[in-house]
Amino acid sequence: LYGWPIYLKWAIKHPFKGTGLARRVQKKVLADIEKDTELEHAHNIFLNLWLQGGLQIAIVFTIFYFWLVLKVFKILKNLDGKEFYFFISMFIFLVSFFVMGSLEGFEKETGFVPFWLACGLVLGHERHLAK
């Protein structure tokens, strides 16, 4: 948490620029900042996305994330039995991902895979219900 203000200061100075995607690129651009914090990244997925892709990327991801949570609620209204419990667990996963994402960056390597799998399951099930 102590590194957030330092990274946030850089992000505010360059709101739409971003460092470029991937932590390798971020490390080169933010080398001086990372010496001060002794961290490899901001340890916050939303702040990392802002740093790497600019504010527009962080906003789009945040909107998409909450839109997905609303989709889960919409699906839950129409379910019962095993599917209901599955989507309750999906909701718990999304809340957990949000909490952990606020304290750790998941965009490195395969950390994002469970999130994208959850997206596929939610959106695929919604499409299945629409038929």
Where do the domains of the chain lie? 4-130
Q: What is the pTM of this model?
A: 0.70
> What element of type H or E holds 70?
helix 55-77
Amino acid making up residue 131: K
Give the residue, 38 or 5, on which the prediction is more confident.
5
Residue 126 has pLDDT above 90, yes or no: no
Span 14-35, mean pLDDT?
A: 64
pLDDT of residue 60: 92
Give the E-state strand segments of the chain in sequence order. none
* Whole-Å CA distances, 105 to 12, 18, 75, 97, 123: 19, 16, 28, 10, 24
pLDDT in tens, 44-94: 788 888 888 888 988 998 998 899 889 888 888 888 788 888 888 888 888
pLDDT of residue 109: 58
Span 90-104, mean pLDDT?
A: 81
Confidence tier at 125 by pLDDT (50, 70, 90): confident
pLDDT of residue 100: 79
Which residue, 75, 19, 13, is CA-closest to 51? 19
pLDDT in tens, 25-56: 566 556 566 555 555 666 778 888 888 888 89
CA distance 68 to 123: 8
pLDDT of residue 73: 87
Are the CB atoms for 37 and 6 separated by under 8 Å? yes
